[in-house]
Chains A and B, each alone.
Chain A
Amino acid sequence: MTGRIVVAGASMGGLRAAEQLRAAGWTGAVTVVGDEPHMPYNRPPLSKEVLAGKAPFESLAFTPKAAAADVEWRLGTKVVSARLRERAVVLEDGTSLSYDGLVVATGMRPRRLRCPGPVTGRHTVRTLADAQGLRDELTRPGVRVVVVGAGFIGCEVAATAVGLGAAEVTVVDPLALPMVGPLGELLARALLKRHEERGVRFRLGVGVAGFEGLSRVTGVVLSDGTVLPADVVVESVGSVANVEWLDGNGLDLSDGVLTDVWLRAGGRPDVVAVGDVARFPNARYDGVPRRVEHWSIPTDTARHAAKTLVAHLGGGDVELAPFAPLPTFWSDQHDFRLQSFGAPGLGLDDVRVLDGGPDGDVLVGYHVDGRLVGVVALGGQAAAMGAAKYRAQLLKQPALTV
Chain B
Amino acid sequence: MKVVVDMNKCQDHGQCVFASPDVFSMDDDGHLAYVPDPDDALRDEVEEAADVCPLQAIRIEG
Contact = CB atoms under 8 A, between A and B. Distances in A.
Q: Do A and B come from one complex?
A: yes
Interface of A: 16, 42, 44-45, 55, 59, 62-63, 65, 295-296, 299, 328, 330, 332, 339, 381-382, 384-385, 388, 391
B13 interface: yes
24 contacts: A16-B51, A42-B55, A42-B56, A44-B54, A45-B55, A55-B9, A59-B9, A62-B56, A65-B47, A296-B52, A299-B51, A328-B15, A332-B11, A339-B13, A381-B12, A382-B30, A384-B13, A384-B14, A385-B14, A385-B26, A385-B30, A388-B14, A388-B17, A388-B18
Interface residues of B, number: 17
Contacts of A384: 13-14
A246 B44 CA distance: 34
A344 B14 CA distance: 20
Nearest to B14: A388
Given A330-B13, A388-B14, A391-B18, A381 B52 contact: no
A269 B17 CA distance: 34
Interface string B15-38: 101100000001000100000000
A299 B15 CA distance: 13
A231 B47 CA distance: 45
Contact of B56 (A63, A296, A381): A63
A330 B30 contact: no
Interface of B: 9, 11-15, 17-18, 26, 30, 47, 51-52, 54-56, 59
A63 B51 contact: no
Contacts of B17: 388
Contacts of A381: 12, 30
A299 B52 contact: yes
A47 to B, nearest CB: 13
A381 B51 CA distance: 21
Most buried by A among B14, B30, B56: B56
Contacts of B56: 42, 62-63
B41 to A, nearest CB: 16
A330 B54 contact: yes
Given A299-B52, A330-B54, A382-B30, A63 B14 contact: no
A56 to B, nearest CB: 12
B7 to A, nearest CB: 14
Given A65-B47, A385-B30, A295 B54 contact: yes
A382 B12 CA distance: 10
Identify which of A16, A295, A381, A391 gathers the most chain B CB atoms within 10 Å of its CB: A381
Contacts of A388: 14, 17-18
A361 to B, nearest CB: 12
Contacts of A63: 56, 59
Nearest to B53: A42
A339 B18 CA distance: 14
Nearest to B12: A381
